[in-house]
Amino acid sequence: MTIVKRNLDIYRTRLITLQNILGRAEAELFPDDAAKTALLTARLAEDMLPLPNQIWFTCRQAELLLGKLNDTPVKEFEVDTASFADLKALVAETISRIEAQTDTKESFAEAKTSLELPSMPTLSMTGQDYIDEWLTPNFYFHLVTAYDILRAKGLAIGKADYLSHLRPLLAAAMAS
């Protein structure tokens, strides 16, 4: 599997994990609050961003790669006014956009791309470095933070839930 295709598939499968965890949170947490208001302000620590931001930034990493591949701007998302339903829709939409990306433009991995950080000089790096050193670490940081927020709020999830992308491999191994 090629570099870009592999990373898109990693983002897709981990976003499916996030989608499943959000579905469980909706079903199991705060049953008397259909809007899940407590989750919309939940933070892991006071100086960290709340759950909606963590979900947006998880999706944003995949969207940034798609934007670079297609030379298109990344769609913005209003985290401050997002409902729990909006967060679930955002994850589903991001998964759909990854699945729709049939041309993985593998030349991106070797080509130079830029990383613009606020109040910092623009960095020039290969597409592979952009994926490996910027997108993927940020993707996992925000994914794990969202997971941890939901766990801290009482969702009974564990490592098996986090690693649920391995279930098809385990099923195949058990079938042989």
pLDDT 10s digits, 25-65 = 999 999 999 999 999 999 999 999 999 999 999 999 999 99
Query: Tens of pLDDT along 62-108?
Result: 999 999 999 999 989 999 999 999 999 999 999 999 999 999 999 99
The predicted model scores a pTM of: 0.94
Phi first, then psi, for residue 125 (nearest 5°) are -155, 170
What one-character DSSP code corresponds to residue 111?
A: S
Two structure tokens written together for 147 = 């997971």
Decide: 21 and 88 in contact? Cβ < 8 Å. no
Residue 121 Cα distances to 5, 114, 115, 134, 165, angstroms: 29, 10, 9, 15, 37
**Residues paired with residue 117 on neighbouring β-strands, in sequence order:** none
Q: Is 167 exposed, middle or buried (0-12, 13-18, 19+ CB in 10 A)?
A: exposed
Residues in the chain: 176
